[in-house]
Structure 1
Amino acid sequence: MVVIGIIGGSGVYSVDFIKNTEKRIVETSYGKSPEIVTGEVEGRKIAFMPRHGEGHSTPPHKINFRANLWALKELGVDRILATTAVGSLNPSVGPGEFVLLDQFIDFTKNRDYTFYEGDERGVVHIDVTNPYCCELRDVLYRKARELEFPVHFSGTYACTEGPRFETAAEIQMLNQLGADVVGMTNVPECVLARELEICYSTISIITNYAAGISENKLTHDEVSEIMDENINKVKKLVFSTIPEIPKKRSCECGSAIEGAKAEV
């Protein structure tokens, strides 16, 4: 049975469209997961996890990404739809618009990036040429267009450590490097999903213009306000996409580990 995971970012702490729900916290060798809601949507098995925990209780640099992803894997998840709140580095891509990521640039510093630490599990050099699932992204884009939501088919995500916002100079640098949006949580989440051979795609919601582009002081209140205005669109896009996800995968995600393990 295919199980579809939903990881809710800032502002997405619950989903009310899941039926026959149960709640659980999964114990893993990496620690406990946040409370996960399992149930069904249109006959598909679902597992919803709020990335930051209940009520945004965990800051981005303290999220236990390995416990989160391992818990979803234990529940049978092999597809993940994630949401992220992001700042825009492009004046023509404004608050309230959706970006479906296809690349990232990583500027995080102090996170656990792999399940393969050279112990009994060995060492893996995972290929992240295409870090996001093209099959899931195609379905999300098609549904967003059908719903007439403002959506961009691709975008490069710059991940910073947080929890502070970036400086204007950092944003200028990220812009010159080709980033379209900036956030604090998508790495190593998408990489760990790939190590577990889980399809992973992200709906990034523009909540503000980044530092040096915005004329206003950057605040979490602004992020929350834009998310509140768009939360129903986010939920509708996820809800509409779930029944359209193919039951059999035709992407490369399911064989990501093949050829990646270092020989001893």
Structure 2
Amino acid sequence: MRGRMDGKVVLATGSARGIGRAVARRMAVEGARLWLNDIDDGLLSVLLEELRAAGAEADGMAGDAADSSFVDQWVQGAIDRFGQLDVLYNNVGVSREGLVGDLTDRDWRFQQRLTLDTVFFATRAVLPPMVERGRGSIVSMSSGAGIGGQYGLGGYAAAKAGVINLMETVAMEYGPQGIRANAVTPGPTATAPLLAYLERQPGGVDAHTSGLDLRRLSQPEEVANTVLWLASDESSNITGICVRSNIRAASNRPD
């Protein structure tokens, strides 16, 4: 049986850990040719070796996805390596806690740079080659914070709202050229950083998940399945949407 991504070239930022790693593995199982990125060269090398050992065609470049010059070089590297690109998955995003009135300029710019600039730079870089081929799918990771805000995460929430709007705008502007653009809100996901954070909070994981739709954390592999669907031809008429997954309801936000 053919995989759902056979012959397709998939680019992914922030792919060496957590949800990004789960997406890379899922795409590989479905036959994608992978061009990956992460700022951690060591972790990226480990993932690439794992994927190749499993029979996948995988390569990539370590570097800062918030550096537009690097991103342009990275995208060109995929074209030089594979001769095409079909899918971009934007995974990078970083939060810092603090009420809006307490955020420093540095806190604000750090979150916008890592969470929104990274999506913009990579999306801008892939659009010309996608338009030239007349097709392409862009999937970007947002957050439930970007839909209804998030207490204590105003900078992150604003950036993630920007991700959703950017995908909606790309869908509108480039749909006639065959380009689809969508976002995903994974809900709190059982990655190592989140689990470590929750262990330090009163009530731990149970207290955090009690107000979620599914009363549990999402798993990285579950999020990867959603990304795969949006990237694949199975969603060939889907564009400009945000897939909402297991997020906290408005009624559960702090007063």
- Band of TM-score, shorter chain: 0.3 to 0.5
The structure where strand makes up a greater share of residues is 1
Would you tell me which structure has more helix in proportion to its own residues? 2
Work out which structure has the larger RCO, using CA pairs closer than 8 Å and 6 or more positions apart in sequence: 1
Q: TM-score, normalised by structure 1?
A: 0.33
